[in-house]
Amino acid sequence: MRKIIQIASYCFILFTVLSCQDDDNTLEQIQVPQNLEVAIDVTDDGSGNVTFTASADNAVTYRFSFPDGSTAVAPSGVYTKRFTKTGLNTYQVTVLAYGQAGVSSSRLIEVTVESDFSDPDAIQLLTGGSSKTWYWAADVPNHLGVGPNNDDPTQNYFWAFFSFTEPFALADIPAATCAYDDEFIFSTSNGENLTYEYDNKGASFFNRSYASVVGGQSPDDSCYEFDTSGEKAVTLAPSESVVAAERKRGTVMTLGDDGFVGYYIGTNEYEIMSLTENRMLLRAVQGNDQGLAWYVILTSEKPVQGSGPQVEDDDFSNLVWSDEFDTNGAPDPSNWTYDLGNGQVGWGNNELQYYTDRPENVIVEDGFLKITALREAFSGFDFTSARLKSEGLQEFTYGRFEIRAKLPQGVGTWPAIWMLGADYQTNPWPGTGEIDIMEHVGRNQNEVLSTLHFPGNSGANGISEETTVATASAEFHVYTAEWTETQIRFYVDDEVYHIFENNDSTPFNKDFFMILNVAMGGNLGGDVEASFQESAMEVDYVRVYQRD
């Protein structure tokens, strides 16, 4: 510990020397946080909750790093963590105190905590309180895919190697036609014990490397006759996978008697990545190749080929608000305010830009709003940009949200047109809900995304679809979301490509506000190409229609 403090002190001395050479006395005021103390309050109820309270002289914020790979930033120094590994366990936690200009001191502490792991909500969702049947979510893209067994957030890591990207893709493979007949039944008699039955109608889909289990010899993945009858006990345990805590539910289920879910890959252990009443995303590491992680999406309503979600006929003919950006200068203050700075850890996404309200980054000119990302040194960051929001000024529940825009270009750019629940300060994300009307990343020049984020489906687990827009950065296109009590539909140039079935269980039934921004780098934007200097998102108009 003393060595770490000495290194931090040396960095402070170096800052002072440089300030003398540059004749800039402001750096002489930078002080390394000292006297870092951490108080620990461990609950004794078996919940695994521990409250850390950090304090240090000259500190402006604190960061906690936990052995499961998760981190937390707490400006007040107070943070509560739930440790879920069953039993009495000792963990090492790194606490860092940050001062001005990013200087820091740190401390490694140990905490011993007892946890009686349980996930009653998962049991309820899996079984509906008694028994529930699940099916392959064959009507959605990527219902089966494989990627590397790592946690690289810059990838769409679920499908980094291969996936069945089209609905009902397995039906087009003669050797896989048995898969979509499968039924996966989860049951409970008391809300605590969990059992599993797999009705494969006599045949199951096997990974080719396991064909020998059933005496097969096919060089390809194939269906084979296989007896899966019988009820199997299911145990739940905390996840210890490489996936970061914020990107998963944190629960693993082990199916007794070598049970498996639809596709035989030599394992009976499945991590529940996300789970709602009608959708489940599972992750499983292949038994004979620990470098591969497979993903399967299940649904509680059996899909019927050709009967996917239908667009509801809604009459959004009443224009209730618009900004046509027809007055040069700063954006209209009756419509827009700003988020400034870099937020906590790049707004939670490790972004690289510093948001400003300067005309260099945001201005209305010639009938267009221009949000420009620039490579420039500013307030300790290498890029600047802008993030506008209608919070407190223009907020809506339901409607047609129509934005005509031309997107920036350059690897590392990450523009977005989106909405956030207006109650986010008292109902923190993802509880508040997020509707991403359009996201684009420069390394995937011809693709745009629409995504819903909410509890159980946040971060990389959001409900997302993509579509091709070949001229996204060269021409203007109209990006639209139609939002009702029962559906949220996403369009590009009036062509629907993503339909989300909304209901009372989601947070998408209250006021949301608009956000327009261009981020740089971060979890989705990735590395910024060295040649990037500047690029802008141009917006022709924002219009909101509601029913008469």
Q: Which residues are catalytic?
A: 434, 439
How far is residue 331's CA from residue 359's CA, in Å, rounded to a whole number?
10
Angle at the Cα of 146 (from 141 to 149), degrees rounded to 5?
Answer: 140
What tokens were used for 422?
A: 């207006």
- Phi first, then psi: give them for residue 528, nearest 5 degrees: -95, 130
Compute, in degrees rounded to 10, the torsion defined by CA atoms 112, 113, 117, 119: -120
What residues form DSSP beta bridges with 158? none
Cα separation values, 523 from 157, 246, 431, Å: 12, 13, 20
The strands making up 263-264's β-sheet, listed across from edge to edge, are 222-225, 203-206, 263-264
Residues in the chain: 548
How far is residue 105's CA from residue 5's CA, in Å, rounded to a whole number?
6
Residue partners of 233: CB distance under 8 A and separation at least 6: 193, 194, 195, 196, 256
Of 118, 57, 133, 122, give the one whose Cα is nearest residue 86. Answer: 118
How far is residue 173's CA from residue 492's CA, in Å, rounded to a whole number?
31
- Phi first, then psi: give them for residue 547, nearest 5 degrees: -70, 150
User: Is the bond leading into 430 cis (omega within 30 degrees of zero)?
Assistant: yes
The strands making up 61-65's β-sheet, listed across from edge to edge, are 71-74, 61-65, 87-98, 104-115
What tokens were used for 36?
A: 């870092």
Is residue 383 within 8 A of residue 354, CB to CB? The reply is yes
How far is residue 462's CA from residue 478's CA, in Å, rounded to a whole number?
23
Positive or negative torsion for Cα 481, 162, 209, 202: positive
Residue partners of 2: CB distance under 8 A and separation at least 6: none
Question: Alpha carbon 66 to chain centroid distance?
Answer: 20
3-state helix, strand, coil in the chain (%, to 5): 15, 45, 40
How far is residue 258's CA from residue 232's CA, in Å, rounded to a whole number?
9
Is residue 261 within 8 A of residue 280, CB to CB? The reply is no
In the structure, how many helices (H) and strands (E) does the chain have? 3, 38
Residue partners of 124: CB distance under 8 A and separation at least 6: 191
Residue type, 476: F
